[in-house]
């Protein structure tokens, strides 16, 4: 099988990890990397202004590159990861050749990432979603019936225990959360530091400058961590928090699992995850991971497991081995490739 893969491949990217896992299944792949074509990480004022003024030109060049690679590579199938910057006409031109188009959509809502996705998603022959409720949302909102669920997984090249001697000293802590700011996450962490003011906490991720909680501010690190540093921060934390995104526009539910559900145990971290009907199916509670219902139980569980290092270590090790057995991107890619072969044969 030859696949044209469209999506970011920076070190630690979920898309890049999946593409590499597909290649390890024996597929021949070619990649169009949106981060190579479009400036998405400008931080200072002048680069931001240039990126904004030139955005349409960058998007046109990106879509031209997709078509150029398509013509040269002549894939059996096109796999687009999310595809927030892919034009409908780009997909239509590739589809005209009879090549199946599939989308791997990793997020909670397809209406919260620009105006192109509601136009492009119906063009694909099949959508893979990492959210079980995404199948219903695609059907009810966009009339898409060809969709299936594949959960996130961990990238064995990135998400693995890091030697303690290689980890920066400032990463070590009792409890950490790694993820983008939201009011729900701020509320949970704010309650935690109010009840346990002496807790050694690290909060990593984007947009935490939006936090208005004065008690929480000393614990905010002010930057995101990616790739090996992400795995190092997990390895350096006694307890890693698995907070989930709340419901947003265009989604019928908040997150039930996330990529961290699998990254944390695979990186050798002890996982304390939000409890819901889906999250508890991936790890046995209090045997392979710990779970909490609300902010009160969050504080209770953190206190309990900080005071029981032997129990915590036993759970951590069991969760690590469960992740290795069942939750790598190689296992996800095997299922994905099987479904892609069926789709090619149908087309």
- Please answer whether residues 297 and 191 qualify as being in contact, where contact means their C-beta atoms are separated by less than 8 angstroms: no
Task: Tell me whether residue 195 is exposed, middle or buried, using C-beta atoms within 10 angstroms of its C-beta: 0 to 12, 13 to 18, 19 or more.
Answer: middle
- Residue 225's pLDDT is 95
Alpha-carbon distance values, 193 to 225, 269, 302, 327 (Å)? 22, 21, 11, 32
The C-alpha atoms of residue 204 and residue 209 are separated, in whole angstroms, by 11
Residue 158 forms part of a structural domain = no
Give yes or no: residues 204 and 117 share one domain: no
Q: Which two tokens stand for residue 37?
A: 């074509």
- Judge if 184 and 149 occupy the same domain: no
Tell whether 175 is covered by a domain.
yes
Q: What is the predicted pLDDT for the residue at 251? A: 86
Name the residue range of residue 50's domain: 2-153+328-346
Q: What is the pLDDT of residue 345?
A: 84
Based on the fold, state whether residues 87 and 144 are members of the same structural domain: yes
Residue 59 has pLDDT above 70, yes or no: yes
pLDDT given for residue 283 in this prediction:
98
**Band (120; pLDDT cuts 50, 70, 90):** very high
54 within a domain of the structure (yes/no): yes
Residue 239 pairs in a beta bridge with: 175
Q: Residue 170: what pLDDT?
A: 94
Q: Using alpha carbons, select from 114, 111, 59, 69 the residue that is nearest to residue 89.
A: 59
Q: What's the confidence (pLDDT) of residue 57?
A: 87
Residue 178 and residue 314 in one domain: yes
What is the number of other CB atoms lying within 10 angstroms of the CB of residue 199? Answer: 18
pLDDT per residue as tens digits for the range 212-234: 999 999 999 999 999 999 999 99
Count CA atoms within 13 Å of residue 318 on its CB side.
15
Q: What percent of the chain has pLDDT over 90?
A: 86
Structural tokens at position 281? 């199916």
Q: What is the pLDDT of residue 47?
A: 65
The whole-angstrom separation of Cα 271 and Cα 264 is: 6
Is 275 within the bounds of a domain?
Answer: yes
The answer to whether residues 182 and 318 belong to one domain is yes
pLDDT digits (tens, 9 = 90+) for 11-20: 999 999 999 9
pLDDT digits (tens, 9 = 90+) for 310-320: 999 999 999 99
* Residues 251, 118 share a domain: no
Cβ atoms within 10 A of the Cβ of 123, count? 18
The answer, yes or no, to whether residue 163 has pLDDT greater than 80, is yes
Region 110-131: mean pLDDT is 93
- Lowest-confidence pick of 123-132, 161-170, 240-249, 285-294: 240-249
Domains contained in the chain, number: 2
Is 170 found in the same domain as 140?
no
- Residue 51 pLDDT > 70, yes or no? no
Q: Residue 271 falls within a domain, yes or no?
A: yes
Query: Of residues 254 and 273, which shows the higher confidence score?
Result: 273
Residue 19: the pLDDT is 98
CATH of the domain at 108: 3.40.50.2000
In this structure, what is the dihedral angle of CA atoms 320, 324, 327, 331, given to the nearest 10 degrees?
180
CB contact burial 265-294 (16+ within 10 A = b; e otherwise): bbbbbbbbbbbbebbeebbeeeebbbbbee
- Is residue 178 located within the same domain as residue 318? yes
Q: Across-strand partners of 275?
A: none
Tens-place pLDDT, residues 244-264: 988 888 888 989 999 999 999
Say if residue 42's pLDDT is above 70. Answer: no
Residues 134, 115, single domain; the answer is: yes
CA 253 to chain CA centroid, Å, is 17
pLDDT of residue 81 exceeding 90: yes
List residues bridging with 105 in a β-sheet: 129
Say what the pLDDT of residue 274 is: 97
Residues 212 and 149 in one domain: no
What integer best gives the mean pLDDT of the chain? Answer: 94
pLDDT (0 to 100) of residue 161: 97
Query: Which pLDDT score, from 0 to 100, does residue 33 have?
Result: 94
User: Is 187 found in the same domain as 149?
Assistant: no
Quote the pLDDT of residue 36: 82
> Does 263 share its domain with 337?
no
Residue 159, in any domain of the structure: no
């Amino acid at each position: 099988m030859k696949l044209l893969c469209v999506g970011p491949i920076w070190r630690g990217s979920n898309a890049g990890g999946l593409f590499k896992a597909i290649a390890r299944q024996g597929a021949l792949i070619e990649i169009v990397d949106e981060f190579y074509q479009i400036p998405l990480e400008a931080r200072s004022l002048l680069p931001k202004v240039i990126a904004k003024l030139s955005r349409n030109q960058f998007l046109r060049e990106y879509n031209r590159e997709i078509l150029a690679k398509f013509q040269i590579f002549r894939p059996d199938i096109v796999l687009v990861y999310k595809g927030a910057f892919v034009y409908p006409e780009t997909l239509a031109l590739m589809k005209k050749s009879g090549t199946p188009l599939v989308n791997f959509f990793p997020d909670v809502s397809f209406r919260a990432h620009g105006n192109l996705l509601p136009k492009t998603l119906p063009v694909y022959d099949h959508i893979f979603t990492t959210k079980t409720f995404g199948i219903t949302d695609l059907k009810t909102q966009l009339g898409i019936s060809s969709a299936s669920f594949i959960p996130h997984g961990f990238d064995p090249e990135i998400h693995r225990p890091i030697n303690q001697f290689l980890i920066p000293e400032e990463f070590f802590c009792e409890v950490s959360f790694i993820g983008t700011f939201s009011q729900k996450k701020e509320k949970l962490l704010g309650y935690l530091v109010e009840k346990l003011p002496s807790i050694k906490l690290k909060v990593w991720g984007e947009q935490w400058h939006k936090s208005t909680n004065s008690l929480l501010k000393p614990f905010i690190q002010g930057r995101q961590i990616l790739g090996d540093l992400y795995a190092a921060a997990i390895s350096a934390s006694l307890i890693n928090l698995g907070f989930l995104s709340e419901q947003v526009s265009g989604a019928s539910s908040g997150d039930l699992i996330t990529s961290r559900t699998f990254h944390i145990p695979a990186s050798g971290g002890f996982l304390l995850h939000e409890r819901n009907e889906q999250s508890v199916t991936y790890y046995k509670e209090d045997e392979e991971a710990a779970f909490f219902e609300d902010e009160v139980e969050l504080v209770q569980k953190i206190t309990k497991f900080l005071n029981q290092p032997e129990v915590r270590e036993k759970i951590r090790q069991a969760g690590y081995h469960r992740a290795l057995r069942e939750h790598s991107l190689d296992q996800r890619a095997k299922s994905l490739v099987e479904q892609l072969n069926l789709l090619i044969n149908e087309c």
